[in-house]
Structure 1
Amino acid sequence: MTEPNSAGVVRRLTGRRIIVTGAASGIGRATAELFAAEGAVVACLDRDAAAAEVANAIGGYPVAADITDEGDVARATNLIQDRLKGIDGLVNAAGIMATGSVEDMPVALWRKIIDVNLIGTYLVTKSCVPLLRRNESSTIVNIASAQGLLPNVADHTAYAASKGGVVNLSRALAAELSPQIRVNAVCPGMVDTPMAVGNGGKAANYAMKRVARPDEIASAILFLTSEDSSYVTGAALAVDGGRSFH
């Protein structure tokens, strides 16, 4: 729903109740802040206590949860449903990254990356779908990665596998949940977040010659959550400064 505020500026998410995972920092935080400015009530879900500070600053609702724990996710979504009296949208922004060759990365670390990035996205989505189905039009946006579209960098096998899984999970969900729930993925390149520390130099290989700001990724997520993208589902939107073709 769009509605102008007192200054006459149209707010694209007025009345929407949206869960953002990974809201304590990075892309998740930028998304929570932008969505609140656009009129949404945002549930900030994160295992990091800093999510409470973000929620308080934007008038949202903080929920501590481990997205890799099915029971904890169910508890958290039930709390949000009770507090907000419904859920209209979900942004799965929680994720981790670690580098290492296929020979050297410990299996436990490989599993952790898959567990957080792919299984965590699945578990939150699984818990939210019954609540999202109660509305005529709901949205899910999953944060994948340019690595999930074109894994051409060494020592990122686990991360690329997890994010490639998120891309195809999003497409499969779009087919399964349409037309009532639209599901899309955003695939960022390098973003100026704590997760990208030490990797900024690789942006020289991008057409834009720089890393992205978190708010630039949040704007793409806003597009896929708002009515501006009402005929878009199953998309994997590269927001990567030209990495995918350069």
Structure 2
Amino acid sequence: MTSNTSHPPFHPADAQLSGRLAGRRVLVTGAASGIGRAIAELFLRAGAQVAALDLRRPADLPGEASRWLACEADITDPQAVERAVQQAADKFGGLDGLVNAAGIANTDWADAVSLQDWKRVIDVNLTGTFNVCRAALPALRAAGAATIVNLSSGQGLQPFKQRSAYAASKAGVIAFSKSIAMEWAPLVRVNTICPGAVDTPMVRGGYSADALRAQVGPRYALERIGEPQEIAMAALYLSSAESSFVTGIVLAVDGGRSYH
């Protein structure tokens, strides 16, 4: 969903992507749909080998089966994560990159959110990111010049009301990512992306199309919500040699909401 603006989404042709991730072996979580799926597909187009991980096995990715792997794991289960990471490393002969895009939302008021729901959001969004990062670390260190891209949210930078659990989890991802960027350098670069509202099943589950157009879009300087591929392009930059001197940053890809 986009509005008629002077800043339409960028859709790169294969010629613009060719070779940008050649030789890279990347694990992408949350790859069944939304931003994670867009990242997995874009990385394949850019030449990477991709392991697509989700709670339920993602649908097959396009292209040669030798270049991708679909695996199933609950990121809140450390043992399941370790098995999936090992499966990916075995198939591709190692891992050079990780993108943590898996996450869930919550829109309860702080005085109404159940303790169970609070813990679930923290467990998936923050602890799940920790589980995957730590499981992948030996392979990433062995590869050298490795990258981690963790997805936080604009809510981690500037929260709204009715986002206390979600915002807390995503702010935690920012702080965690900065910490491991220091601890795991120089062999692993770690950066964070903070998307604004993006046209995904999770966002559409919380808003009608009319609300996205009339209420959400006007919050952004670009007067629209984002598309999954626009977040994927930022992840591509941070996972490529083009960002070789970039680590520990928090990149808002939010159409201007965080300053607007």
**Contact residue 148 and residue 160 of structure 1 kept, 8 A:** yes
**Which of 180, 195, 198 lines up with 2:202 in the alignment?**
195
How far residue 80 of structure 1 moved from its aligned partner, in angstroms, is: 1.2
Query: Is the partner of 1:14 in helix, strand or coil?
Result: coil
Matched, 1:159 2:173: no
Q: 1:149 to 1:83 in 2, by over 3 A?
A: same
How far residue 8 of structure 1 moved from its aligned partner, in angstroms, is: 9.3
Query: Is the partner of 2:190 in helix, strand or coil?
Result: strand
**Contact residue 17 and residue 46 of structure 2 kept, 8 A:** no
In 2, Cα distance between the equivalents of 1:8 and 1:209? 27
Matched, 1:82 2:96: no
Count of aligned pairs between the two proteins: 239
How far residue 75 of structure 1 moved from its aligned partner, in angstroms, is: 1.0
- Which digits, 9 at most, give the CA deviation of each residue in 1:173-192, with x for residues without a partner? 10001111000000000000
How far residue 149 of structure 1 moved from its aligned partner, in angstroms, is: 1.0
Q: Normalization by structure 1: what TM-score?
A: 0.93
Matched, 1:168 2:182: no
**Contact residue 30 and residue 53 of structure 2 kept, 8 A:** yes
Residue 40 of structure 1 is matched in structure 2 by 48
Query: Is the partner of 2:251 in helix, strand or coil?
Result: strand
How far residue 136 of structure 1 moved from its aligned partner, in angstroms, is: 2.4
- Which digits, 9 at most, give the CA deviation of each residue in 1:139-168, with x for residues without a partner? 0000000111111x1100000000000011
In 1, Cα distance between the equivalents of 2:113 and 2:218? 26
**Which of 212, 222, 225 lines up with 1:208 in the alignment?**
222
RCO (CA 8 Å, sep 6+): is it higher in 1 or 2? Answer: 2
Q: 1:19 to 1:109 in 2, by over 3 A?
A: same
Q: What value does the CA root-mean-square deviation take over the aligned residues?
A: 1.7
In 2, Cα distance between the equivalents of 1:109 and 1:139? 31
Give unpaired runs (5+ residues) of structure 2: 1-13
Query: Is the partner of 1:167 in helix, strand or coil?
Result: helix
Matched, 1:184 2:191: yes
Matched, 1:111 2:125: no
Query: Is the partner of 2:60 in helix, strand or coil?
Result: helix
In 1, Cα distance between the equivalents of 2:17 and 2:100? 27
How far residue 48 of structure 1 moved from its aligned partner, in angstroms, is: 2.1
Q: Superposed, which structure 2 residues align to 1:1-246 within 5 Å?
A: 10-49=18-57, 51-54=58-61, 59-151=67-159, 153-197=160-204, 198-199=206-207, 200=212, 201-246=215-260
Query: Is the partner of 1:18 in helix, strand or coil?
Result: strand
Q: Percent identity?
A: 49
In 2, Cα distance between the equivalents of 1:8 and 1:70? 37
